[in-house]
Amino acid sequence: MSEPGREGGPDSPAAHLIDAVVFDVDGLLLQSEEIWDGARRDLADEAGVAWPPDATEAMMGMSAPEWSHYMHEEIGLPMDPDAVNAAVLSRIERRYRRELPWIRGARDALVRIAGRRPVGLATSSNREIVDLFVERGGLEELIAVMVSSEEVGAGKPEPDVYLEATRRLGVDPRRAAAVEDSTNGLLSAAAAGLKVIAVPNPAHPPEAEGLRVADVVLDSIGDLSPDVVERLGS
């Protein structure tokens, strides 16, 4: 784990410079990138459409309107984008209702941070999937705001979803921290002006350009603590 700055306890001046923490979901809290990718690949396979080698990476961070249009226009699914979106969501919803694919230590990290700071979610998942995650995860009392990139102008790496999350939280983006795993997510949070905590997912590690914008790089979500957040204010 690499961390910047000096120590800052909960009562130090530095502890008050970060007013809120915004979490990504897929690949950070849930091991779900593979689930989304599998649902999209299955849909293409059922339609008899070959899966391009770069499609999975291309869609990471895209909003629902963006990836559903990509699948229709670039991959060549004969379904219209709204039908593509609905078919993928149906598969994801069934999976989440069976069991949430929590990453080890993620829920505990949310509890720790929410005990000290308002917490938000800024995710590329569709809003109904975000709502289902919060409901099934019993997170209603922990999460202050939830923003899906389909609710804003553009998906990650554009800053829109983080700007909207901090707006709803009522905090200056420069006084907020983002916790992210992907290249596009890291770039999105940095572009919005947040302090950036990177937690690389070994299954989908971020590229160097994403890690370069991070203020802190952790080995796992289990390493995320209030002290890590407080040091960002140093």
Q: For the chain, give the percent of residues with pLDDT over 90.
A: 85
Three-state DSSP class for 119? strand
* In the block, residue with structure tokens 């795993």: 181
- In the predicted model, what is the mean pLDDT of the chain? 92
Domain ranges for the chain = 13-32+101-231, 33-98
33-98 has CATH 1.10.3720.10 classification: no
Quick one: pLDDT band at residue 1, thresholds 50, 70, 90?
A: low
Cα–Cα dist 166/22, whole Å: 8
- Beta strand residue intervals within the chain, DSSP E: 20-23, 119-123, 145-148, 176-180, 195-198, 216-217
| Mean of pLDDT values over 183-191 | 97
pLDDT at 128 over 90: yes
Residue 57: band (very low, low, confident or very high) from pLDDT cuts 50, 70, 90:
confident
pLDDT exceeds 80 at position 6: no
Second CATH level (architecture) for the domain 13-32+101-231: 3-Layer(aba) Sandwich (3.40)
> Would you call the peptide bond into 13 cis, given omega within 30 degrees of 0 as the criterion?
no
What pLDDT, in 10s, does the model give residues 65-116?
Answer: 999 999 999 999 999 999 999 999 999 999 999 999 999 999 999 999 999 9
Q: What is the DSSP letter of 205?
A: P
CA distance 150 to 115: 29
Distance, in Å, from the CA atom of 93 to the CA atom of 132, rounded to the nearest integer, reads 8
From the list 161, 99, 124, the residue with the least C-alpha distance to 36 is 124
Q: Whole-prediction pTM value? A: 0.86
Reduced DSSP (H G I as helix, E B as strand, rest coil) percent helix, strand, coil of the chain, to 5: 50, 10, 40
